[in-house]
Structure 1
Amino acid sequence: MTDVLVTVDTELSAGLHQRGVVAGCNVENSISGIVSAGTYGIGWQMDRLEEHGLKGVFFVDPLPALVYGKAIVADIVGPILKRRHEVQLHAHTEWLAWAKASPVGDRRGQNIGDFELADQIALLKCARDLLEDAHVPRPIAFRAGNYGADDRTLIALSHLGISWDSSFNAAYLGAPCRIALTQDDHAPVRRHGVIEMPVSGIFDRAGMVRPAQVCALSRWEMTDALRHAGRMGEPAFVIVTHSFEMLSRDRRRPNRAVMARFIAMCREIADNPDLRSAGFADLDPSIASPLRARSPRLAPNSVRTISRIVQQAAGTLRYERHWLPSR
């Protein structure tokens, strides 16, 4: 049985903040996904998950509270906690540029891996405390914003008693992800006192990893990847999406193509007897046993890859062009 984690990076937009968008509107757009056609953010995602009997893992970034105040974190996590999905820790350190007070003084970095170990510990503790102040149970898992972690991040997490990390994404290996693993490392592995849960993915061509992200894989690719994981008895399969991913790039319209992929993904997880929906609290640490044989990623299929490229091109024309003037 393969544990499938549907993880949602739940974050406000630093870009919107830079353009002067107020906090409430940032939440409405980036978290709730409110557009003129309806609401397509985390509420829509939770509806679809629950329709299929699945659990979501929402990696919530609380660092905007250093800019907007603590109440904004409670506004974000409240609906997730009420519906009994899992809240874990996320952090985009670019928010420090506007922080009224920072746990690391005037030091700045685009990613948490840009900081020295002591600063990483301070930043992670601050972010963890902000979540707990919003009545979130103490987080046991973390994902770095932009996947921008390094091995010091894992040491910092271990220092704080956070048992799981899911910052390693082989598609971002080297920059910004600097955790010292390889593209062949896609199973849970113990490292620096924590269990690393890599973002899953496939080889869409020789030597090229494409992550298991809802907007990155076609329905065909995601279905084949999930079936491969179950068939091979992989201990876990980690999927990524974002709180705003069901919207077009300009955040003004629903992206029906990505929404259809999300629904198909939910259906496959629910219907496949080799798969089990899980959160980090459901996992057995023994899945990171070094004795477990490592299975290969799903191999390339040129027809499948070309099909996705064509679909992506059509989707870009339909959903990712700024047909309307920006706000």
Structure 2
Amino acid sequence: MTNVSITIDVENPQTPLFEKRFSDNRIWSDGNGIEKIIEILNKYGIKGSFFTNVYEYPIWGKSEMERIVKYIHDKGHDVELHTHPIWIDDKRRENMFQFTLREQEAIIQWGADFIETHTGRRPTCHRAGAYGFNNDTLIACKKAGLAVDSSHFFGHPNCKLIWCKNDITIRNGIVEFPVTYLLREKQIIKTDIDWMHESEFHDLINKYKDCGFINLFFHSYSLTETCDNFATHTISKRKISFLENILQKVNETSHLESHNLSKLYQKYTPSLTSTDPDSSITFTDICVNNKTKRKLIFINDKKAASFILNHNCMIKESETTTLREEVASFCANKPLKLTTPLDYGYTFLFYTKPFNELPKYENSLSYGRTKYQKTLNDISRIPLYENKNLSTYKDYSFYTNGDYNASFELGRKLFYPVDTTETILNALKPEIVISIDGDGSGDGLETYILSHYLVSSETEFYNIKVS
């Protein structure tokens, strides 16, 4: 049996709203927003989970947000919590992972209290805006009494935790109903009416008759088409037809069941007992403590032919030598000499020789912040990309001196689209991926680059936590 949940993010288009490209509340969209969505859901007898961004109250007023949550609740659907904290933050931080644990606790507590006060029902579920969550987000959800999270979108750069694909799992006592996806020519496509084709949904349910869980995702404004750079909007008959066809298919298909997330939580909770979710990708934490006794608590006996080390480690320069030696010892039980500094920044190291034959790190391609723009212009001149042949390269890296934006954009340029990623990874065929991560939460750029490979690979993934 496959469970299909309809989840709607109730919000305005965030970037256009921030840039003041429109002034009307698109949550309603002149009757074509949540009202039309609920009308269609009720027509097919399906209950939705409406993740509502109550933090837009500085723009529309608290009374307007109260009206929205009451409307959804009174129509018989669940109001869940959606966190886009930028509207209530003087620093204009966009993602939950940018906030401290205490700040996240306050944000989630306020939102859950607001919904409960005005609907009489405390939300069960949380979804971070733009999937920008981390481990602290789950801790904050648990403290606020929320049992479910639905922020995990495998392969998205904002996800600071990656531990599953489309599977329902438990982590830190929170049930995770992930944002699910399908593959289109090996590209990850969210199961969203704004992303996938109708035929892809039909293919998905026909091919995977017992795939467990499909999160059918869209937004409160998804049934409209924007015009004039978001200044105006019109109803989209095509999207309405798409949504209705999917809902009808769900009702008519014997191996499909539709539950909102709170009901699905009640159904799945008894069978979910492990706090360490199973996954076809192995994510094993290796703890390193900079403040007290340094210790690797996991010992790897596997001898891989190659590995990738991704580095985003905010540690003191004086500690990098010791850390480098520990990583080397973990990989090969022998010293691994790297001349590239392990300090701030992103460094990708690729090796094709066995661990015990690794050379000193030489002939690297290293780019500092001042050379960033020139790097983008000269990318096609790098032999690696001209020839698309890694057989002559024993090691390679790029380094951007700690500038996150430069690193991210350079990473996208180098490793995306997917065919470029696969060219590199298939040539190297790493058996092990090792990430060094300053706060132990995982890194979005690393996820962005590796996800398309890991989705169809037996590669093992290890995350070294530096605490």
Query: Is structure 2 residue 184 aligned with structure 1 residue 204?
Result: yes
Partner of 2:93: 109
Asked if the contact 1:187/1:288 (under 8 Å) is kept, the reply is no
Deviation per CA, 1:105-124: give whole Å up to 9, x if none.
Answer: x4541111111111111111
Q: CA deviation at 1:249?
A: 2.9
Native 8 Å contact 1:9 1:58 kept in 2: yes
* AA matched with 1:3: N
CA distance in 2, matches of 1:165, 1:48: 25
Q: 1:136 to 1:219 in 2, by over 3 A?
A: farther
Matches within 5 A, 1:123-138: 123-138=107-122
Counterpart code for 2:75: R
| % identical equivalent positions | 24
Contact conserved, 2:152 with 2:162, CA < 8 A, in 1? no
Q: Normalization by structure 2: what TM-score?
A: 0.54
In the TM superposition, what are the counterparts of 1:182-193 in structure 2 within 5 Å? 182=164, 185-193=165-173
Is 1:73–1:130's contact at 8 Å kept on the other side of the alignment? no
Q: Does residue 33 of structure 1 match 2:29?
A: yes
- Aligned partner of 1:103 in structure 2 is none
Contact 2:166 2:213 (8 Å CA) reproduced: no
CA contact (8 A) 2:105 2:144 kept: yes
Call closer, same or farther: CA 1:130–1:293 in 2, change over 3 Å: closer
Consecutive unaligned residues in structure 1, runs of 5 or more: 98-105, 297-327
Q: 1:239 to 1:295 in 2, by over 3 A?
A: farther
Q: Distance in 1 between matches of 2:278 and 2:221?
A: 36
| Greater relative contact order (Cα < 8 A, sep 6+) | 1
Check conservation: 1:5, 1:237, Cα contact below 8 A.
yes
1:143 correspondence with 2:118: no
The answer for the alignment partner of 2:104 in structure 1 is 120
Match of 1:302 in 2: none
Residue in structure 2 matched with residue 19 of structure 1 by the alignment: 20
**What do the CA deviations read for 1:199-226 (whole angstroms, capped 9, x no partner)?**
11111122x2111001111111112223
> Is the counterpart of residue 278 in structure 1 residue 259 in structure 2?
yes
The structural deviation recorded for 1:252 is 1.4
Contact 1:5 1:278 in 2 (8 A): yes
Distance 1:17 1:264 in 2: 34
- CA deviation digits over 1:150-189, x for unaligned, max 9? 12211111122211000011242xx21222325xx21111
Give me the whole-angstrom Cα distance separating, in 2, the residues matched to 1:293 and 1:55.
29
1:65-101 C-alpha deviation (Å, 9 max, x unpaired):
244432112211222112101111111112125xxxx
Q: How does 1:169-184 map to 2 (within 5 A)?
A: 169-172=153-156, 175-182=157-164
TM-score, normalized by length of structure 1? 0.76
Q: Which residue of 2 aligns with 1:53?
A: 45
Candidates 210, 213, 218, aligned match of 2:197: 218
- How far off its partner does 1:289 sit? 5.0
Match of 1:238 among 215, 228, 232: 215
The 8 Å contact of residues 32 and 224 in structure 2, kept in 1 or not, is answered as yes
Counterpart of 2:150, as a letter, is S
Q: CA deviation at 1:20?
A: 7.8
Which residue matches 2:226? 249
User: Taking structure 1 as reference, are residues 265 and 289 closer, same or farther at Cα in structure 2, changes over 3 Å only?
Assistant: farther
Aligned to 1:321: none
Q: AA paired with 1:268?
A: K
Paired positions, count: 272
- The answer to whether the 8 A contact 2:152-2:159 is kept is yes
Residues 85 and 170 of structure 1, relative CA distance in 2, 3 Å threshold: same
In the alignment, does 2:8 pair up with 1:3? no
Provide the residue aligned with 2:77 in structure 1. Answer: 85
* Contact residue 169 and residue 277 of structure 2 kept, 8 A: no
Letter in 2 for 1:240: F
Q: In structure 2, give the amino acid aligned to 1:191.
A: R
Q: Deviations over 1:8-42 (max 9, x none)?
A: 100134433642855xx31xxx11222xxxx3211
Take 1:154 and 1:228, find their aligned partners in 2: how far apart are those partners? 33
- 1:310 corresponding residue in structure 2: none
Could you tell me how far apart the structure 2 residues matched to 1:20 and 1:198 are?
A: 31
Q: 2: distance between equivalents of 1:20 and 1:189?
A: 39
Deviation, structure 1 residue 275: 1.2
Alignment RMSD = 2.4
Cα distance change, pair 2–286 in 1 and its aligned pair in 2 (3 A): farther
Change (3 A) 1:295 1:289: farther
The one-letter code sitting in structure 2 at the alignment partner of 1:197 is F
Give the superposition deviation at 1:46: 1.3
1:62, 1:73 within 8 Å by CA — same for their partners in 2? Answer: yes
Q: 1:195 to 1:52 in 2, by over 3 A?
A: same
Give me the whole-angstrom Cα distance separating, in 2, the residues matched to 1:149 and 1:278: 24
SS of 1:64's partner is: helix
Report SS of the residue matched to 2:218.
strand
Partner amino acid for 1:19? K
Q: Distance in 2 between matches of 1:125 and 1:56?
A: 23
Structure 2 CA distance for partners of 1:269 and 1:146, relative to 1, 3 Å: same
**Cα distance 1:96–1:110, how it changes in 2: closer, same or farther (>3 A)?**
same
